[in-house]
Amino acid sequence: MATGQLLLWSSARSEWVACPPDEITWLDRELLSGNEDLTLHRAPRCAGLRYVQRRWELFSRDTSYRVYLAPQDGGGPVTAAAVQRAASHILPPAPARYEAQPVVLEAGSWLVSVGNWVLRLRLDVPARPELPTPAGPVTQDGKVRNAPPGEEAVARVRSYFERNTTARMSMAFYYQEFILGLAAPQALPMMDVVVALDLSGEGAVSDYKKLLQGLIWNERGHARNLADFLLSKGLLTLADLDEARKVAADNERRGVSGRARERLKYRPKGS
């Protein structure tokens, strides 16, 4: 797993441009075609590059095109057809805007093809091997904080979300800025989620977060890593957010949200 710097070739600038690790680089209509190809999608309904869990990933929310990833061998013309023939990974079109399983990028030079367009990538790693990351500080009871997720973490969370639709929608609504790929995303105020989805009380979202940390890391203390884990593993998607927003809109229309505000004595800031 490579954790170096990811660069893409900018035809407009005729130079390599670094992908910022703290935001998503969208492979959208503007980047690929300079807004010429109107069949390409805009963000966030396209493919993208992101840095999560100390690794670079290629993912796709494109409902129209397959996304092809091939190593650049230096020989032959760089065409979409050539990339598709040599592809080592193919991300299928995302049905109903559901994000496909992402591909982890390894060090080296790569070509990405979307439709008739090709993008050159380069993942550079440090010349010296990185020192292994410590497991984390040890608490007084001997537990290691920031421990890596357990092997069955993804299966446990997926099973839990399948059994508990409310928990899944609550977390999707809470982390909606992350799912939409906004720059510098922030989680929504928990009470906004409680009111929108008519949850039992103020601590409902916090309880879901604690439970999920237990399923993933077998301990609490990983709240900052929770959104990245859920999104990078495809456990929260645009489809989940759409479902949650529809329920929230229906609750608002039927007066459920208003009654929840009265019940909880909640007034959002600025209201």
The reported pTM is 0.51
Residue 187 covered by a domain:
yes
Residue 130 belongs to some domain of the structure: no
User: From CA 53, how far away is CA 153, in angstroms rounded?
Assistant: 14
Q: What is the pLDDT of residue 138?
A: 43
Specify the pLDDT at position 118: 95
Sheet bearing 47-52, strands edge to edge:
25-27, 47-52, 55-60, 103-104
Select the more confidently predicted residue: 34 or 148.
34
Give the Å distances, CA to CA, from 153 to 12, 88, 157, 168: 43, 27, 6, 15
CA–CA separation, 113 vs 119, rounded Å? Answer: 6
Q: What is the C-alpha end-to-end distance of the chain, expressed in Å? A: 47
Which pLDDT band holds residue 4 (cuts at 50, 70, 90)?
A: confident
User: What amino acid is encoded at 98 in this protein?
Assistant: Y
State the residue range of the domain holding 9: 5-124
Q: Are 40 and 29 in contact (CB under 8 A)?
A: yes
- Supply the mean pLDDT for the chain: 84
**96-120: pLDDT as tens digits:** 656 667 899 999 999 999 999 999 9
CA distance 67 to 252: 38
Q: For residues 181 and 169, is the Cβ–Cβ distance under 8 A?
A: no
Please count the structural domains in the chain: 2
pLDDT of 146 > 80? The answer is no
DSSP state of 140: T
Is 63 inside any structural domain? yes
Q: Using the 3D structure, point to which of 86, 109, 124 is the last residue of a domain.
A: 124
Per-residue pLDDT reduced to its tens digit, 82-91: 999 999 999 9
Picking from 124, 145, 161, the residue at the C-terminal end of a domain is: 124
**E strand or H helix at 209, and its extent?**
helix 204-217
Residue 104 forms part of a structural domain = yes
From the centroid of its chain, how far is CA 129? 27
**In contact, 187 and 253? CB cutoff 8 Å:** no
- Residue 241 inside a domain? The answer is yes
Segment among 16-20, 73-77, 156-160, 244-248 with least mean pLDDT: 73-77
